[in-house]
């Protein structure tokens, strides 16, 4: 399968693995790249030397392209970028910040830059900043999200109408059917997050993976808009936040309750009560944990079958 995204990244399938904190280490990234997609190391949960280790291990584990995701709300950005350049990473996804900050620096060093957005407004800003492609992420997505609550079904055609560069759809995509649907709406490829959390290679805790495949419809909610909007599984930590809202909380009180390393506590260390458990709405249709290669194969098989059905309608 060849299109603007496969040609841009030099990959077999237009499937990009989300660079999720505490889940997207070198094992997952290399497995997805070896399966024909684009694996992405999630640097948001990594100190500079940890990122260096993951890049080096990924380079040994796959000869295929892979990328690194850098959320720009984290510290040590200059050190992370220095490591990416020094180790000759070819693809960088930036998010949660101004794309003008690093795009020119990276592109001048021969790096493909993709920026994640949740609105048409920011898609245009990213295109004007010179990025090579855009990930448009709908309200359904896990982790940090847009405040406007625009769904993927609405966001993708809205962004497609305004930009000229390649477009990657994200948010609520875990199947080949969903991949086809977003590509019919104008996407050139898809970014898949939650489905890869429930993979054998994901670095997240096994208890968190088990929780992901157990939850049903309505078991996640977007919250903490005053700080950084995030979609969470409804556990004790989430309920504590809602109780603060009922009492009339402030941003400072929310920050105090959030504390430090809540996401690590939940997703990496497996505390399902007090930890922050980030996952997308699509988790309600994820029912098993399996190797990343099988996930990629299943998505592509279903994509082709669904495409053939539409042709025959």
Q: Which of 158, 123, 126, 156 is nearest to 141 (CA)?
A: 156
Q: How many CB atoms lie within 10 A of CB 265?
A: 21
State residue 153 phi and psi, 5-degree precision: -60, -30
Per-residue confidence (pLDDT) for residue 312, from 0 to 100: 67
Q: Which of 309, 298, 302 is nearest to 36 (CA)?
A: 298
Cβ atoms within 10 Å of 189's Cβ, excluding its own? 29
Measure the CA–CA gap between 77 and 44, rounded to whole angstroms: 10
Cα angle: 65, vertex 36, 29; to 5 degrees: 55
**CB contact set of 12 (below 8 Å; sequence gap of 6+):** 1, 6, 36, 37
- Give the length of the chain: 313
What is the reported pLDDT for 143? 78
- 3-state SS record for the chain: CCCHHHHHHCCCCCEEECCCCCCCCHHHHHHHHHCCCEEEEEHHHCCHHHHHHHHHHHHHHCCCCEEEEEECCCCCHHHHHHHHHHCCCCEEEEECCCHHHCHHHHHCCCCEEEEEECCHHHHHHHHHHCCCEEEEECCCCCEECCCCCCCHHHHHHHHHCCCCCCEEEECCCCCHHHHHHHHHCCCCEEEECHHHHCECCCCCCHHHHHHHHHCCCCCEEEECCCCCCEEEECCHHHHHHHHHHHHCCCHHHHHHHHCCCHHHHHHHCCCCCCCCCECCHHHHHCCCCECHHHHHHHHHHHHHHHHHHHHCC
pLDDT for position 286: 97
Neighbours of 60 (CB within 10 A): 10
Q: How far apart are CA 41 and CA 58, in angstroms?
A: 9
* Integer Cα distance of 103 and 288 in angstroms: 38
Query: Residues 107-157: pLDDT tens digits?
Result: 999 999 999 999 999 999 999 999 999 999 999 998 777 778 899 999 999
Quick one: pLDDT at residue 147?
79
Q: How much is the pLDDT for 46?
A: 93
> Which positions of the chain have pLDDT values less than 70?
311-313
Six-digit token string for 200: 């054998």
Rounded Cα gap, residues 229 and 9, in angstroms = 30
Q: CB–CB of 132/99 below 8 Å?
A: no
Residue 115 has a pLDDT of 97
């Amino acid at each position: 399968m060849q299109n603007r995204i496969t040609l841009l990244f030099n990959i077999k399938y237009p499937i990009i693995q989300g660079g999720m904190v505490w889940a997207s280490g070198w094992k997952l990234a290399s497995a997805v790249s070896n399966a024909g997609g684009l694996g992405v190391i999630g640097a948001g949960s990594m100190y500079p030397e940890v990122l260096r280790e993951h890049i080096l291990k990924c380079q040994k584990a796959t000869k295929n392209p892979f990328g690194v995701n850098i959320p720009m709300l984290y510290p040590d950005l200059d050190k992370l970028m220095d490591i990416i350049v020094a180790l000759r990473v070819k693809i960088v996804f930036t998010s949660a910040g101004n794309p003008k900050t690093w795009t020119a620096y990276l592109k001048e060093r021969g790096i493909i830059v993709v920026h994640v957005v949740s609105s048409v407004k920011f898609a245009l800003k990213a295109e004007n900043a010179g990025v090579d492609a855009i990930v448009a992420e709908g309200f359904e997505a896990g982790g940090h999200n847009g405040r406007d609550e625009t769904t993927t079904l609405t966001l993708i055609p809205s962004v497609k109408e305004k930009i000229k560069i390649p477009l990657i759809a994200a948010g609520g995509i875990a199947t080949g059917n969903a991949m086809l649907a977003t590509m019919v709406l104008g996407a050139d490829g898809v970014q898949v997050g939650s489905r890869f959390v429930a993979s054998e290679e994901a670095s997240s805790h096994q208890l968190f993976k088990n929780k992901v495949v157990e939850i049903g419809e309505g078991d996640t909610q977007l919250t903490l808009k005053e700080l950084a909007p995030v979609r969470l599984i409804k556990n004790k930590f989430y309920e504590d936040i809602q109780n603060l809202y009922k009492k009339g909380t402030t941003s400072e009180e929310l920050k105090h309750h959030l504390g430090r390393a809540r996401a690590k506590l939940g997703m990496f260390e497996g505390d399902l009560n007090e930890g922050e458990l980030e996952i997308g709405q699509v988790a309600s249709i994820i029912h098993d944990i399996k190797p990343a290669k099988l996930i990629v194969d299943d998505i592509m098989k279903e994509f082709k079958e669904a495409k053939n059905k539409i042709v025959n309608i």
